[in-house]
Chains A and B, each alone.
Chain A
Amino acid sequence: DTEVTQTPKHLVMGMTNKKSLKCEQHMGHRAMYWYKQKAKKPPELMFVYSYEKLSINESVPSRFSPECPNSSLLNLHLHALQPEDSALYLCASSQDEGNTEAFFGQGTRLTVV
């Protein structure tokens, strides 16, 4: 099983809403990632969790709040987003932070209105 599952697939939210994106993997991977991808652009790293601890925060605004409740789950809590935050949010996992392949989920298409 090399699957990373993200929910929901699509999300429309207002600028005053609070919502959460969820990511799950059962490959026993200990590194998990959040990426943001705008149309026709490459994915941009937001956060890295290693062994359930935040190891990288790429200067992401505080309106994005990651959480890693256990080794299989990764959440991204959203609050007071702006329309320019509309994008495809991708979750990925890898065995660890070393030289191992990273597997991506299908993403959550987020639209902020």
Chain B
Amino acid sequence: GESVGLHLPTLSVQEGDNSIINCAYSNSASDYFIWYKQESGKGPQFIIDIRSNMDKRQGQRVTVLLNKTVKHLSLQIAATQPGDSAVYFCAEKGVSRGSARQLTFGSGTQLTVLP
């Protein structure tokens, strides 16, 4: 079936370095993508989204890149801080079962920021 997956389950970076979290998706009908951050014991927190008519979008310290040719999504975090330590999920929205649209999550990457 269609799925959204991540290349690496864990990522450790030094404080102050840039982080890059990758995500592969397989549903060619996906046209909307979201990155979420989830800290322990909390719900997913929206970080940034991107629509399929774009290939790059920037937020505060974060950039999302979308490569539709290879069905790849990445999240770049600039100057990573200890508070960035969390699990990061990519999620995609696409048509499923006719017109019903679902938000499907990838498997997640645990980001650990080292002092």
A45 at the interface (CB under 8 A from B): yes
Q: Would A42 and B51 be within 8 Å (CB), given that A55-B100, A97-B100, A106-B43 are in contact?
A: no
Summarize B's interface: helix, strand, loop or mixed. Answer: strand
A54 to B46, CA, bound (A): 24
Interface size on A, residues (CB 8 A): 25
CB contacts under 8 Å to A, within B12-61, are 31-32, 34, 36, 41-46, 49, 51
Contact B44 A90 (CB under 8 A): yes
B104 at the interface (CB under 8 A from A): yes
A45 to B104, CA, bound (A): 7
Interface size on B, residues (CB 8 A): 24
Chain B residue at minimum C-beta to C-beta distance from A55: B100
Could you name 11 residue pairs across A and B whose Cβ atoms are closer than 8 Å?
A: A33-B103, A40-B108, A41-B107, A45-B104, A56-B97, A97-B101, A99-B31, A102-B34, A102-B103, A104-B46, A106-B43
Interface residues, chain B, with chain A CB atoms under 8 Å away = 31-32, 34, 36, 41-46, 49, 51, 89, 93, 97, 100-108
**Known contacts A41-B108, A45-B104; can you find 8 more A-B pairs with CB under 8 A?**
A33-B103, A43-B44, A90-B43, A97-B100, A97-B101, A103-B46, A105-B43, A107-B42
